[in-house]
Amino acid sequence: MDGNLNALTTVFTEFYYWVTVVFMFLIHVGFCMYEVGASRRRNHMHTLMKNVMVIPLVTVTFFFFGWWIYWAFPMFPFFGGLDLEAGAANLPWAETMGPNAADRITGVFWAAFLLFSWTAASIVSGAVIERIRSSALWVHAVLIGSVCWIIDAAWGWHYGGWMVKYLGYHDAYASGVIHGIAGGYALGVIAVLGPRIGKFAADGTPRDIPPHNPWMLTIGIFLIYTGFWGFYAACNIPAISPDGIGGEITGTTWTATNIYLAPTSLSGITFNFLMSLSGGLLAAYVVSKGDAFWTFSGGLAGVITASAGNDLYHPVQAMLIAAVGVVIVYNLHFWVERKFKLDDAVGAVAVHGYAGVIGLVIAGFVLWGVPSSPYEGYASINPLGQTLGAVIMFFGLGFLPAFIVAKMQKAAGVLRIPEEVELEGLDYAEHHAYEDAKQAIIEADKEYLSKKLTATE
């Protein structure tokens, strides 16, 4: 870190990613609140614990192998071998994976990616509430958080990934690489897991299972919006010189870039984040006839739909793309629910999965012919590459592994909780000490009260 400018840039970049990580923590807080608000009272503690423990499990596994996958897998296995050289500095026993005066970026960069991993796992967690075994969900959390999503990031969210190079895949703020894959993964699990008791009437008509606390949902989703700001910033490189990029950009003007090292600006993505959020909210309010749950979720779905191209869209384009995506997502959710009898407890498959897929396809048309990379020899953005990318994310790395592993868990009898426990509530089953203590103190208070009343009488 010699030279003042170099030192300033390094420290700024280090601090920049650190701040994004802190902001992104709010996404997980939001997911926890949302899930607990959506669950019924008898399942609160279990629902919360299920999502909280995603944090340590994904963190340690992302340290052990997830981060290495990102650097080693960009061309593997279809267009080359493992990039062991790039991977070496990111192995869990590498000297750069700890306090090291010669390296000031690996830890914060690792953490920024890790927070995306939590998000991917947490999206799945919401869809399966009130009937999955924690042990089963936590296996899925590790699988999507530290394996599947990071493989897709190496392929399609890395400046040297094969999907970027050969398909012209463009997904600046992770419509597909986080939301598409997580939605597809959630679909794979709930297809095997089955609906909650009572979700469908005998004739197959779906019943609404309303959230026990709509306010908690509201605060939860607003925290997710807030964390999403940090997510957007974390997807950028804040300042880099053309020399630092080493591609085709000429001159000496520094720029912010997206993850592919292609130019964008924090200003531009701020316009687009807010305009796509607004487009999503406006469309969702109309299409859901003012339903609070869907209006708020629609804001999120709007941002997710526009995210693939939000580094380059005009703000009005971002708003309209978000609105179109939300209308499709809303109708698709109810059609799939009726047709396939799937119980997606928080609408995760729709809000994340369908919105991500639609966003990728739309970006292929709106950004058709735009260079996907600042490096020579890369395919430009195109509808076919984006559509193939969407299929890889949603089905190949999302739905398929989830479906297979969930089938194995079901065959072994370790996927779903017993029916009796589902009715009684998981809080009593797994947190009976809390429930017993609560009951005991209520009884004690009643007894004390009855004595007092007797005395005054």
Partner 1 sequence: MSTIGYESWAVDMAEVGPIYPFQGWEIPLVVIGVLFWIGWHRIQFVREHKHLEQAKQRALDHERIEQSVERY
Strands 237-240 and 255-257: antiparallel
Stretch of 91-99, 119-127, 235-243, 358-366 lying at the interface with partner 1 (CB under 8 A): 91-99
Q: How many residues bind partner 1 (CB under 8 A)?
A: 37
Q: Is 2 in the site for partner 1 (CB under 8 A)?
A: yes
Q: Name the residue nearer to partner 1 (CB basis): 1 or 105.
A: 1
Write out the binding residues for partner 1, residues 61-80 only, by CB under 8 A: 61, 63-64
206 DSSP 8-state letter: B
Among residues 18, 88, 98, 447, the one that binds partner 1 under rule CB under 8 A:
98
Nearer to partner 1, 2 or 243 (CB): 2
Does 377 sit near partner 1 (CB under 8 A)?
no
Residues 217 and 159 sit within 8 Å (Cβ to Cβ):
no
Distance CA 93, CA 91 (A): 5
Rounded CA separation 97/92 (Å): 6
Rounded CA separation 160/231 (Å): 21
Residue closer to partner 1 (CB basis): 86 or 421: 421
CB closer to partner 1 out of 212 and 341: 212
How near is the Cβ of 37 to partner 1 at its closest, in Å? 13
Q: Which stretch binds partner 1 (CB under 8 A): 94-102, 185-193, 368-376, 384-392?
A: 94-102
Q: Which residues contact 78 (CB under 8 A, 6 or more apart)?
A: 162
Residue window 174-213: x/- pattern of binding to partner 1, with contact defined by CB under 8 A:
--------------------------------------x-
- Closest approach, Cβ 91 to partner 1, in A, equals 8
**Min. distance of Cβ 42 from partner 1 in angstroms?**
5
State the helix-helix crossing angle for 106-127 and 4-38, rounded to 10 degrees. 10
According to DSSP, residue 208 is labeled: P
* CA-angle at 181, arms to 176 and 187, nearest 5°: 130
Figure out which of the listed residues 94, 219, 239, 391 binds partner 1, where binding follows CB under 8 A: 94
Select from 28-36, 276-284, 391-399, 425-433 the region that touches partner 1 (CB under 8 A).
425-433
Q: Give the x/- contact pattern for partner 1 in 395-424, rule: CB under 8 A.
A: -------------------x--xx-xx-xx
User: Could you give the CA distance from residue 46 to residue 418 in angstroms, rounded to a whole number?
Assistant: 15
Q: How far apart are CA 388 and CA 390, in angstroms?
A: 5
Touching partner 1, residues 17-56 (CB under 8 A): 40-42
Minimum CB separation of residue 162 from partner 1 in Å reads 29
CA 289 to chain centre: 27
Q: Which residues contact 66 (CB under 8 A, 6 or more apart)?
A: 58, 113, 114, 117, 145, 146, 147, 150
* Backbone φ and ψ of 371, nearest 5°: -65, 130
**The two three-digit tokens of residue 84, written as one number:** 């062991």
Residue 148 amino acid letter: C
DSSP 8-state code for residue 255: E
Site for partner 1 in 125-144 (CB under 8 A): 133-135, 138-139
Instruction: Tell me the backbone φ, ψ of residue 93, rounded to 5 degrees.
Output: -100, 10
Residues that bind partner 1 (CB under 8 A): 1-2, 40-42, 57, 60-61, 63-64, 92-95, 98-102, 133-135, 138-139, 212, 414, 417-418, 420-421, 423-425, 428-430, 432
